[in-house]
Structure 1
Amino acid sequence: MLREDVDVLGPQALDYPVPRTDPLLPPPVYAELRGHPPVRVRMPNGRPAWLLTRYEDVRAALADPRMSSDFLQPNFPSLNPVPPSPGAFSFVRMDAPDHGRLRKMVTSDFAMRRMRELRPEIEQMADDLLARMFESGKPADLVESFALPLPSMAIARILGVPAQRSAVFQQCSRTIARADSTAEQASAALAQLAALLDELATAKQSEPGDDLISRLVHQFEARGELTRFELLAMGSLLLFAGHETSANQISISVIHLLQNPDQLAEIRREPRLLRTALEELLRFASLKQHDLIRVTAEDMEFAGVHMAKGDGVITSQPSANHDPSVFPDPDRLDIHREFNRHLAFGHGPHACPGASLARVEVEVALERILHRLPDLALAVDLDQIPFRHDMLIYGVHALPVTW
């Protein structure tokens, strides 16, 4: 049932999502909204939600235990087409204690130490993909040839998914991530992912490997600490999240660097700058445009407004990461920016567990591209690039390049 205050939003209420006017920057209305307390917006289904745009408010909300991640709540402001069902998105859409119980099972697999061990394999994957792209000739679609398969191969390696099955989960992930997918399409894609993982988990009961699914099967499921459903949901989440964001971060980072040739030239001259540039590219792109969402678990005062129990809350990562009170001149890419406390991987107990993997993947990708393609250029004008306005995770559908 809708709360009574839906009606008071009125015809002039801000509709969410807010469209971009510049594909490389957040919607300009966020700059105005950051001067005010949280505002009420109207979701596509007509329900109201609170929109948080200031860095301080977004960071506080993501760490506030009164803000629930449970998407089974009736007013949860999700744009995801997958109908809410218990455990469907594993720990990412759970609160304590189940969130911590499940997340803890995979933390070690994504620790920085483990990522350093995996880095040589990722570097080899990147070299192989670029070699194939060279063989195919120019122009090439950097998304299809490189940015998408690299993180897909890496997360498949971690989970123990055979490389030949990666095309299946890539297609399923695209369907789940499309804001315009129907509930039936998204549910079918999620079921297909689960079936793939169920087949693998069963095989690994008798033939375990050096991979995450094998460890979950033998260390947790066999002891009764993890159900098969929980294992499949967790695996689906990691397959989806483990490549979707990194693939788009690689592509859009290339665009931002090409649009800033002076800074790109600096990185080429001094490769050590890439590590700082990476953090700035993560801040600047802020790809999770509709993903950091919550619902209030109780009546509460927050950021100067009263929020009632069950109110939907949207924390805008793109707006927070472009807040001038924290990032001077925020709409300018600055590869020398220091103390870059961006929220690209969220914050609080639900901060992205795969942040270390994503950093390694994007850094390796950019390092290899800059080294192997010193004269890389867009093969089309910027306005011809198909940006992902229709997706929960921002980026580009394709990126035609030449060299």
Structure 2
Amino acid sequence: MMTEMAIQETAAEYPAFPMQRADPLGPPELYAELREREPISRIRMSVTGQEAWLVTRYDHYRELIRDPRVSADMYADNYPRQIPVPLELLRSVPRTIFHLDAPDHTVHRRLLTPEFTYRRIEGMRERTQQIADEYVDRLLEKGGPVDLMAELSLPMPSQAMCELLGIPPADRHIYHEWITLLIGTDTTPEQHAQAEITVVGHLEKLIAQKTEHPEDDLLSRLIARNNEEKLVSDRDVLNLARSLIAGSHETSANMITLSVLALLRNPEQLALLKADPSLDASAADEMLRYFSVSDAGTSRVVLEDIELGDVVLRKGEGVVASILAANHDPEVFTDPGRIDITRSPNNHVAFGTGIHQCIGHLVVKMQLGIVLGTLFRRIPDLRLAIDLDDVKFKNAAIRGVEALPVTW
């Protein structure tokens, strides 16, 4: 039997997650090596020191995430966490829909589903285009160089979500600060707790206002629908709003910025996009596949022993089902390291799969396609104002950059 010291030494030898990247825009090189020789392998979470399994093949990913014998409960003891907040503090915060299992997850999703149908999302297209044009207008008025992250990538999706939910645009900074602290790896427990108090307090007031004076927005409709059907508690409605904000804010901002970087580094693909607006949607899909910014967003805890490939995952063990590794599997995607905005089919899993597939995936894809097409066709000579080597990438659970100076 291994001694406690031997077990600790063995864990220390496991690759640290997230893994280092030679190319800051590409996946960790170790993913390809592991996928070939040990597609289900052991890792150590660099922030918490937890041991977990890492899944790097597309077929294994889909099989595991669709298996009801795994749990999305982030508050479980061995859930692979990327934030340095003590588990006791995390457990004091209500779970979001991302970390609920059936049947609770099923009920919450049912309440949201009418808001994210294809027809309703298409109805947002005109306003989304208007918002994108407004931000590009401001860029042109200001003139380069500008920080694209601060002037477009972050505020544009933030405004869109504020309008969708009915949150006054003047208050959106509250939610941005909350998300930044939530996903940051340097957040202190005290900062995390205070941010939660601020956001919950603001949402409580907003929900009370919309209960008394409903408007034509998603939050008002959620409140009215829940009052009719009595699916969840009032606090659950608040948590659904928190989930939507958390799921859209930082992810969309980083996808816009990284996609701009990638297109600038691939001029032949950029030329295709500039010349053909019909490629906007497929360009968005390819960027979502290539970057998969929420790489560990489908981490899980095993509820029962599961045989996956040649490995048995034991009850209680944590698993990181890597979205990024799955989306770069050469068995599914030809030449996965190459960006191809005409790629078809493109059956990526950037939004997850199964019951936890991102409910807002149509919004994110539409928004990203519109922003990229609008930006590059209206500012065709957009370029980096610094060297790529000088771009600072975020130390956070969601891949992104601190800033992106551009000019034209």
| TM-score normalised by length of structure 2 | 0.94
Q: Mapping of 1:70-85 within 5 angstroms?
A: 70-81=73-84, 83-85=89-91
Structure 2: how far apart are the matches of 1:131 and 1:34? 45
Match of 1:43 in 2: 45
Match of 1:29 in 2: 30
SS class of match (1:267): helix
Structure 2: how far apart are the matches of 1:303 and 1:87? 36
Structure 2: how far apart are the matches of 1:96 and 1:382? 44
**Cα deviations by residue, 1:141-198 (Å, 9 ceiling, x for unpaired):** 1111111111111111111101111111111111111122122222322222111111
- Correspondence 1:227 to 2:233: yes
**Cα deviations by residue, 1:208-251 (Å, 9 ceiling, x for unpaired):** 01112212222214764322221221111111212221111111
Among 123, 127, 144, which residue is 1:121 paired with? 127
Structure 1: how far apart are the matches of 2:297 and 2:45? 14
**Cα deviations by residue, 1:38-92 (Å, 9 ceiling, x for unpaired):** 1111223333110111111112111111111112211111113454327724211
Structure 2: how far apart are the matches of 1:43 and 1:255? 28
Structure 2: how far apart are the matches of 1:297 and 1:206? 43
Match of 1:356 in 2: 362
| TM-score normalised by length of structure 1 | 0.95
Mark the runs of 5 or more structure 1 residues left unpaired by the alignment: none
Structure 1: how far apart are the matches of 2:92 and 2:158? 27
**Cα deviations by residue, 1:92-150 (Å, 9 ceiling, x for unpaired):** 10100000100111112122211111111111111111112222221011111111111
Structure 2: how far apart are the matches of 1:183 and 1:213? 29
- Correspondence 1:236 to 2:242: yes
- The one-letter code of the counterpart of 1:236 is R
Name the stretch that deviates more: 32-41 or 225-234. Answer: 225-234
Match of 1:263 in 2: 269
Among 307, 315, 320, which residue is 2:313 paired with? 307
Structure 2: how far apart are the matches of 1:206 and 1:139? 46
Structure 2: how far apart are the matches of 1:11 and 1:358? 38
**CA contact 1:178–1:392 (8 Å) conserved in 2:** yes
Match of 2:396 in 1: 391
**CA contact 1:89–1:234 (8 Å) conserved in 2:** no
Among 344, 354, 370, which residue is 1:338 paired with? 344
Match of 1:375 in 2: 381
Query: Which segments of structure 1 move beyond 4 Å, counting only runs of 4 or more?
Result: 3-8, 221-224
**CA contact 1:81–1:186 (8 Å) conserved in 2:** no
Name the stretch that deviates more: 59-68 or 212-221. Answer: 212-221
Mark the runs of 5 or more structure 2 residues left unpaired by the alignment: none
- The one-letter code of the counterpart of 1:24 is L
Match of 2:138 in 1: 132
Match of 2:68 in 1: 65
Q: CA RMSD in A?
A: 1.8
Name the stretch that deviates more: 173-182 or 82-91. Answer: 82-91
Structure 1: how far apart are the matches of 2:110 and 2:84? 28
Identity %: 39
Pairs aligned (count): 400
Q: Mapping of 1:138-149 within 5 angstroms?
A: 138-149=144-155
Compute the displacement of 1:354 (Å). 0.5
- Correspondence 1:366 to 2:372: yes
